[in-house]
Amino acid sequence: MKVAIRALVRLGVTMSMIYDKKGQRKYLTPSERDRFCRAALKLPLDQQTFCLTIAYSGCRISEALQMTGSRIDQEEQGVVIRTLKKRRNDVYRVVPLPIWLLELVQTHYQPMYEYPERRLWPWSRAKGWMVIKRVMADAGIAGGHACPKGLRHAFGIAAIQSGIPLNLIQKWLGHSKIETTAIYTNAMGAEERLIAKRMWTSLVALKD
């Protein structure tokens, strides 16, 4: 009985991480994420690369703001991110990015090439947040999920629904515990909707 109660408590905790107290989701859907990225492509290069890097790497906004030119790893086709929510401050992870986005970030970095330790986006956290929120508004996305954390959650859910192994997603997101990564399995995906649709068609249609 105690084991069952603990399991239910854990389930409640994990569900609360992707839904708020009113049951509203904290993550962007695939269509919202796509609209966000399309809206970001219309921005100046520095803002464009900032928004897309967060969307495609799932990093925290504070982690993105600490990135320097030396963290662009062309050989590994990804970016090296210092994981901030760790007791040690020297924990890094490599997250793969699409080649076209890496080239875009490299283009943004080019004028700073002689200063590899200069931050790619030398902004305050407040400015980074403001840039993300503006793109959300341009994309017609509103609500509690229209924020940097909503993009991070969207990355985790997209990875789960694409069949990426849980331990790899844990590594990419910089989670200490795999139980934290497992929260994204609670989000409903296209496959789950398809199963529900098949169930509905097997029932007597009440509309008629």
103-149 pLDDT, tens digit each: 999 999 998 888 899 999 999 999 999 999 999 999 999 999 999 99
Instruction: List Cβ<8 Å contacts ≥24 apart for 160-167.
Output: 160/184, 160/185, 160/187, 160/189, 161/187, 161/189, 161/190, 161/191
Tell me: pLDDT of 9 over 70: no
Tell me: pLDDT of 12 over 50: no
Q: Provide the number of structural domains found in the chain.
A: 1
pLDDT band at 72 (very low <50, low <70, confident <90, very high): very high
pLDDT band at 93 (very low <50, low <70, confident <90, very high): very high
The answer to whether position 165 is within a domain reads yes
What does the pLDDT read at residue 203?
A: 64
Tell me: pLDDT of 180 over 50: yes
Mean pLDDT of 39-53: 98
**Letter for the amino acid at 113?**
Y
What does the pLDDT read at residue 185?
A: 86
- Are the C-beta atoms of 64 and 54 separated by less than 8 Å? yes
Higher-pLDDT residue of 58 and 206 is 58
Instruction: From 153, 175, 180, select the one nearest 84 (Cα to Cα).
Output: 175
The answer to whether position 101 is within a domain reads yes
Task: Say what percent of the chain tops pLDDT 70.
Answer: 87
The answer to whether position 174 is within a domain reads yes
What does the pLDDT read at residue 86?
A: 65
What does the pLDDT read at residue 85?
A: 75
Tell me: pLDDT of 3 over 50: no
The answer to whether position 207 is within a domain reads no
Residue 113 belongs to domain with CATH number? 1.10.443.10
What does the pLDDT read at residue 208?
A: 52
Tell me: pLDDT of 162 over 50: yes
Tell me: pLDDT of 2 over 90: no
pLDDT band at 189 (very low <50, low <70, confident <90, very high): confident
Residues in the chain: 208
Q: Whole-prediction pTM value?
A: 0.84
The answer to whether position 128 is within a domain reads yes
- Residue 68 DSSP one-character state: B
Going 132 to 18 to 29 to 141, the CA torsion angle's sign is negative
The answer to whether position 91 is within a domain reads yes
**Whole-angstrom Cα distance, residue 208 to residue 203?**
13
The answer to whether position 208 is within a domain reads no
Residue 115's domain spans which residues?
2-202
Q: Which helix (H) or strand (E) holds 78?
A: strand 78-82
Mean pLDDT of the chain: 87
42 half-sphere exposure, CB direction, 13 A CA radius: 9
